[in-house]
Amino acid sequence: MRFEEKVDLGTEFCGLRLVNPFLLASAPPTANGNMIKRAFELGWGGAVTKTIPPDDMELRDVSPRLKAVRQNNGKIFGLENIELISCRTLSGWLDEIRDIKECFPDRVLIASIMAEVRQDDWQQMAISLQKAGADALELNFSCPHGMPEKGLGSAIGQDAELTTLITSWVKAVATIPVIVKLSPNVTDIGQIARAAEKGGADGLAAINTVQCLAGVDLDSFAPQPSVHGFSTLGGLSGPAVKPIGLRCVAQMAEASRLPISGLGGISSWREAVEYILVGASNVQVCTEVMLRGYGVVKAMKSGLARYLSSKGLSSVEELRGRALPKLVSHASLSREFRVWPQIDQMTCNACGRCVTACRDGGGHALHIIDDQLILNEAACTGCGLCINICDSLHL
Ligand SMILES: Cc1cc2nc3c(=O)[nH]c(=O)nc-3n(C[C@H](O)[C@H](O)[C@H](O)COP(=O)(O)O)c2cc1C
């Protein structure tokens, strides 16, 4: 029997039943109905459409609008985008929403929407999309580029009063759950989570991208991605933003009782588990799918099922929030607990990397004597730098 068959990956979000906790985030992989249907065939539990604008909002994307941020080994660990929301308007989406739900009635389809601060626009979009069969609405108060210049996107999610107001407009007409997608580009995400709750939100999602500038070309001085020599601040996604996403979700779980859809830098079942442990009910994925395709969900599902089974758990819900009681104030952390690195002499080749790091960034406690790495315990400050830079040192 496969692990997925032993463990029920099914879960609930705002009263909606998800066959598994993996959703596609609002982004290019959910740009149209055919793409979403192809993803559902491959096993995604749900999808959030690329953010839909009202019919009278004219949008035109620039080219190029993506720039990878790479590690020294060339691996992509972040992706900047300056892409706008869907350039296809509401009317174009309605038939596709109907069609997706007809073909996949057991999958959750969430319509992401964005409009100007006009009550009628938000309410008309909500009414049309719920009539077309969307299972929930996700209010995009969090896109950090392009839209905020016009007072939309993160310009709304950076203002607690506007967040409450627009959420309450949508809630006044919504017969389906309303989820608010929050921006990490705020001073206190807990405050904005509470503002959404005050407006009547049924759930929260975070994070949208982290405002960034991917780089600058050293020859032309053009910021990247360069659109004919010019650029603009964009949004960072992918593995680099996971620590920020986890922090935001933990703070939201602390500040509000609303269920949370967690995202930002999820590339395998492991990061998904981390998000669930800090309070997410389910997770969304964008960049990993853009880089490796819809098929990644297969390993995510089997990995999560295997993990739950190894922990003796039979549902995702049993895992939710289990790390939160262990996240305490700095003052509450033990001052008695102390680590000293253990040196694995079998694998250490005395290259000296840790010695240099400890000398110039630590307590100058590591030395190579007669081709062997030695720790001076009295000088060690217990910072843990060395164990982070070499596998031959551990706790
Ligand atoms: C090219 C691109 C376009 C995106 N477009 C949208 C969008 O239209 N609406 C939205 O809410 N988020 C949008 N996002 C943000 C993603 O939904 C997601 O919040 C973010 O990328 C973090 O998740 P990830 O690290 O898995 O990519 C976009 C992201 C990328 C990379």
User: pLDDT tens for residues 313-365?
Assistant: 999 999 999 999 999 999 999 999 998 999 999 999 999 999 999 999 999 99
Fold classification of 338-394 is Alpha-Beta Plaits (3.30.70)
Architecture in CATH for domain 3-326: Alpha-Beta Barrel (3.20)
Three-state SS letters, the chain: CCHHHHCECCEEECCEEECCCEEECCCHHHCCHHHHHHHHHCCCCEEECCCECCCCCCCCCCCCCEEEEECCCCCEEEEEECCCCCCCCHHHHHHHHHHHHHHCCCCEEEEEECCCCCHHHHHHHHHHHHHHCCCEEEEECCCCCCHHHHCCCHHHHCCHHHHHHHHHHHHHHCCCCEEEECCCCCCCHHHHHHHHHHCCCCEEEECCCEEECCEECCCCCCEECCECCECCCEEEECHHHHHHHHHHHHHHHHHCCCCEEEECCCCCHHHHHHHHHCCEEEEEECHHHHHHCCCHHHHHHHHHHHHHHHCCCCECCCCCCCCHHHCCCHHHCCCCCCCCCEECCCCCCCCCHHHHHHHHHCCCCEEEECCEEEECCCCCCCCCHHHHHCCCEEC
Question: What residue spans define the domains of the chain?
Answer: 3-326, 338-394
Choice among 14, 143, 386, 390 that is catalytic? 143
Q: What integer pLDDT is reported at residue 362 of this predicted model?
A: 96
Q: What integer pLDDT is reported at residue 89 of this predicted model?
A: 85
> Can you tell me the distance from the alpha carbon of 236 to that of 66, in angstroms, rounded to the nearest whole number?
10
Q: What integer pLDDT is reported at residue 6 of this predicted model?
A: 72
Q: What integer pLDDT is reported at residue 4 of this predicted model?
A: 54
Q: What integer pLDDT is reported at residue 97 of this predicted model?
A: 98
In the residue annotation, 143 being an active-site residue is answered as yes
Q: Determine the distance separating the centroid of ligand 1 and the alpha carbon of 127, expressed in angstroms.
A: 24
pLDDT one digit per residue (tens) for the chain, 395 residues: 555 557 899 999 999 999 999 999 999 999 999 999 999 999 999 999 999 999 999 999 999 999 999 999 999 999 999 999 999 989 989 999 999 999 999 999 999 999 999 999 999 999 999 999 999 999 999 999 998 998 899 999 999 999 999 999 999 999 999 999 999 999 999 999 999 999 999 999 999 999 999 999 999 999 999 999 999 999 999 999 999 999 999 999 999 999 999 999 999 999 999 999 999 999 999 999 999 999 999 999 999 999 999 999 999 999 999 999 999 999 999 999 998 999 999 999 999 999 999 999 999 999 999 999 999 999 999 999 999 999 999 98
Q: Determine the distance separating the centroid of ligand 1 and the alpha carbon of 47, expressed in angstroms.
A: 12
Centre a 10 Å sphere on the Cβ of residue 172 and count the other Cβ atoms it contains: 13
Angstrom CA distances, 10 to 30, 46, 57, 304, stand at 22, 11, 38, 12
Q: What integer pLDDT is reported at residue 138 of this predicted model?
A: 98
Q: Atom 6 (ligand 1): residue with closest C-alpha? A: 27
Give the chain's radius of gyration (CA, Å): 23
263 lines ligand 1 (CB under 6 A): yes
Q: Atom 19 (ligand 1): residue with closest C-alpha? A: 208
**What is the length of the chain?**
395
264 lines ligand 1 (CB under 6 A): yes
Contacts of 329 (CB under 8 A, 6+ apart): none
